Amino acid sequence: MIARRTAALLAATVLAAALSACAPTASPTPSPTATGFASEEEAFAAAEATYRAYVDALNEVDLSDPATFEPVYAQTTGEALSSEKKGLTEYHSSGLRVSGQTEIVLIEGTSWDRTSGSITLDACTDVSAIDVVNADGESQVSPDRPDIQTIRVTVVPLSTAGALKISSIGSRQDGPPC
């Protein structure tokens, strides 16, 4: 009787092993990094959303109303925040007015540091519709300003889970053509 049970148990084990060999194995699910992103694509998408929110906030700025600056400040940190505060405050105190909208032509993720969470984007923005005028209605925009700006944006995570802010924005000489 023990031999029959052993034989039945052995047969069941062999059958289970044979069936499991044919069963598809689950593909490993990427696990999020310490910075909260499971993949480079996920990090780039989050950085792009942050940059788009920043451009949307800039497009809503009314230089005569400093309260409209706050959404821009909310998307920035560090060097970018300092630069925005200085520039918008100077434009406001000079009585300048801005009109037009910036349009994003291209955004491309270029690098992601899995350890620090820093994400770099290259972007092209169309600023041809943007004008900044003084109280006399004279444009303050340089006639040499290119209509399409080629920029590099660095986005960093904050200690708050999932929160990203722009830490720097500057021109670039390399990267994707605009």
- Residue ranges with strand state E in 95-137: 97-99, 103-112, 119-126, 131-133
Question: What is the pLDDT, as a whole number, of residue 35?
Answer: 55
Query: At 113, phi and psi to the nearest 5?
Result: -95, 110
Q: Is 37 exposed, middle or buried (0-12, 13-18, 19+ CB in 10 A)?
A: buried
**Tens-place pLDDT, residues 3-56:** 333 333 333 333 233 333 333 444 444 444 445 788 999 999 999 999 999 999
Q: Which residues have a Cβ under 8 Å from the Cβ of 93 and sit 6 or more positions away?
A: none
| Mean pLDDT rounded to a whole number for the chain | 84
Question: What is the per-residue pLDDT for 5?
Answer: 33
118-134 CB burial, b ≥16 within 10 A, e <16: bbbbbbbbbbeebebee
pLDDT band per the 50, 70, 90 thresholds, residue 87: very high
Distance CA 75, CA 87 (A): 15
pLDDT at 163: 87
Q: How many residues does the chain have?
A: 178
Burial of 164 (0-12, 13-18, 19+ CB in 10 A): buried
99 three-class SS: strand
What confidence category does residue 82 fall into, taking pLDDT thresholds of 50, 70 and 90? very high
Residue 149 has pLDDT above 60, yes or no: yes
Check residue 56 and give its pLDDT: 98
Q: What is the mean pLDDT of residues 99-127?
A: 96
